[in-house]
């Protein structure tokens, strides 16, 4: 039994010597501070911009807000210049389910909803 207790004591001592907790919290906080959450509008505009005109049933989801939906249609829009596209999408969030009509337009290297 003494040998068993000795091995157990040495194992505990070895584990205690190996345990060291680094302060990870400041690293996580700095990463979160520099990463801004995406809005649903940005996710929808990006999905519309990456998809082909005429595309239907495109799912989108925003992990930042928990919202999701399906873009029902994308059309070349007459509402705006420079390749803007009209779209119809659903949006399911904590507030419920809504159906949205909008226009997404190219803006530099990304897409934005019309008027934003």
Place of tokens 């994308």: 74
Rounded (5°) CA angle 32-36-40? 130
Q: Which residue did the predictor score with more confidence, 113 or 77?
A: 113
pLDDT category, 97, cuts 50, 70, 90?
very high
What count of other Cβ atoms lies within 10 Å of the Cβ of residue 36?
A: 9
Instruction: Write the pLDDT tens digit of every residue in 32-43.
Output: 444 678 899 999
pTM over 0.95: no
Q: How far is CA 39 from CA 10, 45, 72, 110, in A?
A: 54, 10, 20, 14
List beta partners, residue 102.
87
Contact between residue 88 and residue 99 where contact means Cβ atoms under 8 Å apart: yes
Greater confidence (97 vs 115) lies with 97
Structure-model confidence comparison of residues 54 and 19, the more confident one:
54
Reduced to 3 states (helix: H, G, I; strand: E, B; else coil), residue 5 is helix
The more confidently predicted of residues 36 and 18 is 36
- The Cβ-side half-sphere exposure at 29, using a 13 Å CA radius, reads 4
Please say if the pLDDT value at position 95 is more than 80: yes
């Amino acid at each position: 039994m003494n040998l068993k207790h000795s091995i157990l004591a040495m194992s505990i001592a070895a584990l205690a010597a190996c345990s060291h907790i680094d302060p990870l919290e400041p690293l996580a906080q700095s990463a979160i501070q520099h990463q801004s959450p995406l809005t649903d509008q940005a996710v929808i505009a990006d999905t519309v911009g990456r998809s082909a005109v005429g595309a239907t049933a495109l799912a989108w989801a925003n992990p930042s807000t928990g919202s999701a939906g399906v873009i029902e249609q994308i059309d070349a829009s007459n509402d705006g210049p420079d390749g803007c596209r009209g779209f119809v999408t659903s949006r399911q969030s904590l507030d419920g389910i809504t159906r949205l009509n909008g226009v997404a337009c190219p803006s530099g290297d990304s897409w934005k909803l019309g008027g934003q």
